[in-house]
Amino acid sequence: MTLRMSAPSSDLRKNLMLNRLPPMGPPGLPPLNRGGRGRGRSGPMAGRRDYTPVSWKQYWDKSETVTMGEDVFRVYRRGTSGPLLLLLHGGGYSGLTWSLFAESISEMVECQLMAFDQRGHGDTFTSDDTDLSADTLVGDVGRVVEAVYGTQQPTCILIGHSMGGAIAVHTAYNNNVAGLAAVVVIDVVEGTAMDNLSSMQSFLRGRPQNFNSLQNAIEWSVRSGQTRNVAAARVSMPGQIKNTETGKCGTVDVESLIESHNQNPQEKTSMPVRADVIPEEGAENNSNPDHESNETLAAQTSLSLSMQNTIPVRLLKLPLIWIL
């Protein structure tokens, strides 16, 4: 959803800030392969959008469960040295939305990164997932960092997007993270969230309630504009949906399917390019959008799943109240 700035002065300030933005990357930095750790695409799938889900392992070194009483948090980590970049995702997303950022920044500087699924999001489960108050979310940040690093907490740079940005500010103000050196907030504009609160219910009603498969959910996130980067959608969307039959996060299904495929590699088949694989701009596309929307999407690469591997999933509930 594109948010409108609330006043002309805000538009002017935004334009001024955009003109002052630094270049996209340091001179001479080679372009990244957006498949995770250099995994680019070539061959018959080149130039076409692939909606196959990919594992967190392509972007992160480890995935951990941090248990504190009745609360279990999913934590993703990359790197072991340098300052810690602690990443807080926005409302309705998960720690995996930072995957491409983690890959990019770790190629530029020596650092360690940690992102976790906040309460009520992703693969995190707490005694009260509906308690999304600022005090509770800020407390979660401090507890998770302490559980992971103990008394040996490295110098920390706290980075938050949207809701995560608001929580980052509160965390810094309350001094909940030891060794905090800097705070970065992304897409947090005072007043804009409140101005758009009246349209939130309409936005939520417009979201589909169920998908036939993980691939179908990933395609929707790209087509709807929720995610503009296909590579980002492939790794992050599973963290935003649940299997309607098992109640588990979509990331669990991704890992299960990959493990099953690795144990039975002989089942891998070479599938033709189907109508539900969408060409990039400039590539030929003879697909029928009305027809493809009714089909169950199957994996084209990576797993080469059969049609029997479809998984019914639904979107996680998006928090309605973000306390700034």
Sign of the torsion angle spanned by Cα atoms 94, 95, 96, 101: positive
Task: Give tens-digit pLDDT for 212-230.
Answer: 899 999 999 999 888 889 9
Task: Give tens-digit pLDDT for 149-167.
Answer: 998 899 999 999 999 999 9
CB atoms under 10 Å from CB of 133, counted, come to: 12
Q: Which residue has better confidence, 294 or 169?
A: 169
Q: pLDDT at position 261, please?
A: 78
Question: Does any domain span residue 41?
Answer: no
Tally the domains of the chain. 1
> What is d(CA 33, CA 46) in angstroms, rounded to the nearest whole number?
12
Q: What residue numbers bound the domain in which 256 lies?
A: 47-190+199-315
DSSP state of 118: P
Q: What percent of the chain has pLDDT over 90?
A: 51
> What is d(CA 191, CA 7) in angstroms, rounded to the nearest whole number?
10
Give the range among 103-117, 164-178, 196-210 with minimum mean pLDDT.
196-210
> What is d(CA 246, CA 236) in angstroms, rounded to the nearest whole number?
20
Q: pLDDT at position 187, please?
A: 85
> What is d(CA 13, CA 17) in angstroms, rounded to the nearest whole number?
6
Give yes or no for a contact between 93 and 111, defined as CB atoms under 8 angstroms apart.
no
Question: Does any domain span residue 38?
Answer: no
Question: Does any domain span residue 176?
Answer: yes
Reported as a pLDDT band with limits 50, 70 and 90, residue 37 is low
Q: pLDDT at position 314, please?
A: 62
> What is d(CA 214, CA 54) in angstroms, rounded to the nearest whole number?
10
Farthest CA pair distance, the chain: 62
Reported as a pLDDT band with limits 50, 70 and 90, residue 124 is very high
Q: Which residue has better confidence, 14 or 221?
A: 221
Question: Does any domain span residue 215?
Answer: yes
Arithmetic mean of pLDDT, 35-59:
71
Which one-letter amino acid corresponds to residue 231? A
Question: Does any domain span residue 320?
Answer: no
Arithmetic mean of pLDDT, 50-63:
96
Q: Which residue has better confidence, 121 or 283?
A: 121
Sign of the torsion angle spanned by Cα atoms 190, 191, 196, 200: positive
Question: Does any domain span residue 60?
Answer: yes
Task: Give tens-digit pLDDT for 125-150.
Answer: 999 999 999 999 999 999 999 999 99
Q: pLDDT at position 288, please?
A: 41
Q: pLDDT at position 280, please?
A: 40
Q: pLDDT at position 264, please?
A: 75
Rounded mean pLDDT of the chain?
76
Q: pLDDT at position 35, please?
A: 52
CATH value at residue 308: 3.40.50.1820
Res 74 pLDDT > 90: yes
> Helix or strand or coil: residue 314?
strand
From 63, 119, 88, select the one nearest 255 (Cα to Cα): 63
Q: pLDDT at position 266, please?
A: 59
CB atoms under 10 Å from CB of 18, counted, come to: 8
Total residue count of the chain as it appears in this document: 324
Question: Does any domain span residue 184?
Answer: yes
- Mutual orientation of helices 214-223 and 250-263 as an angle, nearest 10°? 130
From 52, 34, 56, 93, select the one nearest 218 (Cα to Cα): 52
Arithmetic mean of pLDDT, 56-81:
97
- Give the start-end residues of each E strand in 187-293: 241-243
Question: Does any domain span residue 8?
Answer: no
